[in-house]
């Protein structure tokens, strides 16, 4: 007999009929000889409705009261679901987060789960009942009983955390699509179902906009090795398995508060090529990386930042053995780029640096914790180490530093993040040889981001740290951090621009904080653009595979879509484009990687 946790999302329980249909499925699972815990969301779009209602009363509602309000949605569903099961002759009982004993941090509207007291729930299971638990909610402590919520979409996280705490055999997430698809079928109906995806890939996809799973749910499944399946609540099809590596054993205390950093990694076989002042128009990146991959050169990091005027800088890293050829290809492109454009492009130049290293911190515990990246920058700054390039993903932050600083960087990072094991050397070629995964598994669109740029940040160690610490103090998470390669002389000091993206909800707040610090920290104007969209490709098979990024850029160029920013990490490439180009960009990239299937995915209304 297995213990199964089944989670049903809003659409799956959107009406009385749907609740009855779900109850039938739950009963079938019990009749097949299993114990079942059911976790449910609020019915349909109830939570959205409650948020709207709150904003009719207050522009900035109190967070505690917000949790009090939003947690009611799930409470309706648990009672109805329990009744529906009882109608079928299946003993069942509903429980709120408080009744189960789901204890979280006190941070209202975004609490992380600390631990779950399972004995009460287990007594009901042993008595032969199905236990129906309200997702998305918890309490701040057994004494205070303050109701908290986990953040929008958080019922997935409730379910996987409960499965881990109960040591269940598996956790099944039931939703309105057949499983995890190559992209959002509402935007690309030709999206295809995947039978399987790794938790690393899913973490990236979820954090880049694929809302089919809450990223923190994937994190818990990965940390505890919990088998996780996503399937449709309308059919009996098997859906998608999310596979995790065998985890290190870990306690069930501090479930979501694992150490933020598990490993410090480095790669000394890196060289940098920067192309300065290339024209800002569709097709430039496609052409450059097309030529580079034509030479079979594998590019690791790519960043492209925005500028005033009509030029961009593009920087990328390659292995040291590839530097000469990468430089030759880049230099050869300059005359073609400048031809026929204004004077700015004629100033284009190529700069190379053969003596760089990449240092990386990695760990699923950094999700949603803006302070971790800031701490890395601060640690490097305090050691007097200048950061040349930054690349972030949901579970990694990498900094390119001077090669001579690498050993010192590793030592201070291991100490700061209490990583005792010696740093791991990244061997891209070996990783590529081991991987038979397709280069691109999925494509995601995030339309909720805004871009901020700070002009003329003094170029000295510690500035990135100060900047991101400031934002972290206000709990603002930053994504796609890009430092320009171009230095300018400002009052005798060199200065750079830094651009990054944050959630649109945080954009204005972030701008205020940064503008207020401008005089003290000596930086210039802070510019916000909310009319952007971020498209990303994700796949562990892109490691060590030349040409994947080039193919993405080419697809955009063909549609004349201009790329405003580029950022890559090992298993993803993200491009910022204008908001109006977002959906088209997603569609052409999905098609370009041959991800479209024959069957159109129908999403229930
Ligand atoms: P639930 O209410 O069941 O939690 P959500 O609306 O949170 O459901 O998530 C399911 C939705 O996620 C789908 O209807 C789909 O539009 C969207 N989605 C985005 N990206 C993907 C993807 N890669 N695969 C499947 N669904 C996706
Ligand atoms: N009802 C909550 C929301 O809409 C939680 C969830 O559905 O996962 O965000
Ligand atoms: Mg959801």
CATH label of the domain that carries residue 26 = 3.40.1160.10
Phi/psi at 86 (5° precision): -60, -35
Residue 440 has pLDDT above 90, yes or no: yes
- Nearest Cα residue to atom 4 of ligand 1: 9
Note the pLDDT of residue 490. Answer: 64
Residue ranges with CB less than 5 Å from ion ligand 3: 9, 153
SS3 (DSSP) at 393? strand
Give the span between the Cα atoms of 203 and 559, in whole angstroms.
Answer: 29
Asked whether residue 257 is domain-assigned, the answer is no
112-116, 400-404, 424-428, 494-498: segment of lowest average pLDDT: 424-428
Domain span at residue 271 reads 263-592
Residues 223 and 362 in one domain: no
CA of 305 to the centre of ligand 1 (A): 31
Asked whether residue 194 is domain-assigned, the answer is no
- Nearest Cα residue to atom 6 of ligand 2: 153
Residue 426 has pLDDT above 80, yes or no: no
CA of 174 to the centre of ligand 3 (A): 10
Burial of 409 (0-12, 13-18, 19+ CB in 10 A): buried
Q: What average pLDDT is seen over the chain?
A: 91
Give the residue-averaged pLDDT of 272-297: 88
Give the residue-averaged pLDDT of 255-278: 89
Give the span between the Cα atoms of 120 and 397, in whole angstroms.
Answer: 41
Note the pLDDT of residue 346. Answer: 62
Residues 291 and 406 in one domain: yes
| Three-class DSSP labels, 481-509 | EEECCCCEEECCEEEEEEEEEEEHHHHHH
CA dihedral 343, 531, 564, 313 (to 10 degrees): 60
Note the pLDDT of residue 551. Answer: 93
Atom of ligand 2 nearest to the CA of 42: 1
Asked whether residue 568 is domain-assigned, the answer is yes
Give the span between the Cα atoms of 311 and 341, in whole angstroms.
Answer: 11
Which residues touch 31 (CB under 8 Å, ≥6 apart)? none
The ligand minimizing its distance to the Cα of 175 is 1
CA of 586 to the centre of ligand 1 (A): 16
**Percent of the chain clearing pLDDT 90 (strictly above):** 65
Asked whether residue 354 is domain-assigned, the answer is yes
389 or 156: which carries more pLDDT confidence?
156
Q: Tens of pLDDT along 67-124?
A: 999 999 999 999 999 999 999 999 999 999 999 999 999 999 999 999 999 999 999 9
Residues 527 and 412 in one domain: yes
CATH code of the domain containing 424: 3.30.2130.10
Confidence of residue 371 (pLDDT cuts 50, 70, 90): confident
CA of 190 to the centre of ligand 1 (A): 15
Confidence of residue 341 (pLDDT cuts 50, 70, 90): low
Note the pLDDT of residue 345. Answer: 52
The ligand minimizing its distance to the Cα of 134 is 2
> For the sheet containing 130-134, what is the strand order?
92-95, 130-134, 35-40, 3-8, 170-175, 228-232, 240-243, 196-198
Confidence of residue 217 (pLDDT cuts 50, 70, 90): very high
Note the pLDDT of residue 342. Answer: 53
Residues 222 and 308 in one domain: no
Angle (deg, nearest 10), helices 371-382 and 463-473:
150
Note the pLDDT of residue 493. Answer: 72
Domain count, the chain: 2
- Choose the residue to mutate in 10, 48, 111, 137 for probing ligand 2, maximizing ligand atoms within 8 Å of C-beta: 10
CA of 271 to the centre of ligand 2 (A): 45
- Nearest Cα residue to atom 9 of ligand 2: 152
Asked whether residue 310 is domain-assigned, the answer is yes
Atom of ligand 2 nearest to the CA of 10: 7
Q: Give residue ranges with CB within 6 A of ligand 1.
A: 9-12, 41, 153, 175-177, 180-181, 183-186, 210-212, 442, 603
pTM here is: 0.91
């Amino acid at each position: 007999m297995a213990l199964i946790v089944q989670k049903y999302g809003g659409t799956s329980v959107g009406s009385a009929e749907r609740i009855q249909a779900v109850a039938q499925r739950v009963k079938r699972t019990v009749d097949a000889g299993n114990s079942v815990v059911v976790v449910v969301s609020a019915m349909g779009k109830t939570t959205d409705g409650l948020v709207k209602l709150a904003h009719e009363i207050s522009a900035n509602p109190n967070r505690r009261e917000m949790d009090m309000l939003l947690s009611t949605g799930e409470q309706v569903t648990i009672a109805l679901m329990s009744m529906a099961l009882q109608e079928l002759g299946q003993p069942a009982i509903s429980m709120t987060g408080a009744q189960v004993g789901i204890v979280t941090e006190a941070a209202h509207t975004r609490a992380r789960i600390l631990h779950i007291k399972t004995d009460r729930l287990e007594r009901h299971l042993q008595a032969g009942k199905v236990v129906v638990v309200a997702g998305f909610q918890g309490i701040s402590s057994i004494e205070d009983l303050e109701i908290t919520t986990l953040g929008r979409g958080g019922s997935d996280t409730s379910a996987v955390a409960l499965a881990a705490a109960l040591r269940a055999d598996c956790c099944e997430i039931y939703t309105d699509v057949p499983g995890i698809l190559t992209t959002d079928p509402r935007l690309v109906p030709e999206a295809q179902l995947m039978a399987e995806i790794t938790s690393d890939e899913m973490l990236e996809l979820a954090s880049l906009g694929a809302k089919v799973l809450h990223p923190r749910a994937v994190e818990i499944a990965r940390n505890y090795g919990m088998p996780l399946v996503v399937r449709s609540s309308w059919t009996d099809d098997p859906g998608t398995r999310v596979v995790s590596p065998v985890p290190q054993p870990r306690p069930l205390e501090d479930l979501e508060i694992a150490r933020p950093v598990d490993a410090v990694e480095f790669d000394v076989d890196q060289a940098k090529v920067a192309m300065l002042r290339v024209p800002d128009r569709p097709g430039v990146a496609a052409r450059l990386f097309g030529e580079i991959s034509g030479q079979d050169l594998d590019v690791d990091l790519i960043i492209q930042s925005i500028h005033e005027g009509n030029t961009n800088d593009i920087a990328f890293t390659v292995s040291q053995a590839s530097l000469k050829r990468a430089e030759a290809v880049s230099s050869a492109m300059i005359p073609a780029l400048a031809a026929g454009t204004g004077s700015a492009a004629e100033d284009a130049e190529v700069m190379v640096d053969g003596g760089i290293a990449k240092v990386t911190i990695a760990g699923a515990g950094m999700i949603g914790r803006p302070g971790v990246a800031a701490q890395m920058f601060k640690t490097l700054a305090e050691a007097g180490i200048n950061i040349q390039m930054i690349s972030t993903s949901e579970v990694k932050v990498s900094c390119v530093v001077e090669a001579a600083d690498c050993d010192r960087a590793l030592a201070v990072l291991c100490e700061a993040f209490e990583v005792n094991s010696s740093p791991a050397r990244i061997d891209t070629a070996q990783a590529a040889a081991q991987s038979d995964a397709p280069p691109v598994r999925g494509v995601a669109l995030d339309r909720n981001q805004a871009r901020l740029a700070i002009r003329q940040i003094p170029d000295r160690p510690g500035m990135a740290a100060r900047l991101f610490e400031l934002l972290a103090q206000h709990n603002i998470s930053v994504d796609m951090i890009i430092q320009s390669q171009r230095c300018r002389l400002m009052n005798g000091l060199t200065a750079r621009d830094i651009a990054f993206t944050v959630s649109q909800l945080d954009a204005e707040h972030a701008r205020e904080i940064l503008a207020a610090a401008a005089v003290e920290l000596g930086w210039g104007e802070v510019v916000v653009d909310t009319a952007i969209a971020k498209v990303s490709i994700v796949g562990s098979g892109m490691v060590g595979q030349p040409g994947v990024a080039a193919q993405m850029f080419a697809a955009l160029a063909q549609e004349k879509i201009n790329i405003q920013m580029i950022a890559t990490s090992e298993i993803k490439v993200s491009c910022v484009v204008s908001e109006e180009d977002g959906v088209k960009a997603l569609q052409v990239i999905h098609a370009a990687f041959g991800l479209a299937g024959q069957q159109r995915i129908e999403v229930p209304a």
